[in-house]
Structure 1
Amino acid sequence: MPLLPVPVFAPGASTGRTPATLRTVLHRTSKDLRRRLAPRAPGAAVPHRTPAWRLWADLARGYLALALTLLPRPRPARTVTVFVASADPLGARPGGPAPY
């Protein structure tokens, strides 16, 4: 019996539905099986895992950054721009026009 067509982000859906093609599912399954069934040689390097303390430190850093966004920051100083205009035109010289 086929599943009923439901939108991916349906508000009434009881579980999240992620669209996946048959090709994607088969590819992931075969990759996982190869990884699990591959013979391991003695002394072979174990895949690198992130240490637990680093995961906790990253989580704490995220919460600290979130808490810092809630603290009030000082407002920037108010500035006043002053424009000064002279009474003489810009091209006027004290001795008259420039000689050629």
Structure 2
Amino acid sequence: MVLDLTLRRQILHYIEDDLSSTLPSQECLERVKDAWNCDHFYDFLYGQMVGQYIGTAEGFVRIRFAREPTEDEINDIFEIVETYALRMKEYLKDIADM
């Protein structure tokens, strides 16, 4: 891993906090469904979560180092987010079961 250890911890903390947060309300979910009009809503939400985590982590690099992340850093970020795939799916299952 080439990603700075402090930055890695910050990314892990951000994802952990997000996955531990309160589930969105049914009303909120309905508004998202209506706005995006997608056929596979929970796949959409999963992709949105992955994109949010990767984009936020890349933003952490930009803020901390005032530069774009390197290819190796981006690969590290993807690996970190990938380790949360099951937790994200469980989180979305909890939403679907509401």
TM-score with structure 2 setting the length:
0.27
State which structure, 1 or 2, has the greater radius of gyration over its C-alpha atoms.
Answer: 1
- The higher relative CO (CA closer than 8 Å, separation ≥ 6) is in 2
TM-score with structure 1 setting the length:
0.26
Structure with greater helix percent: 2
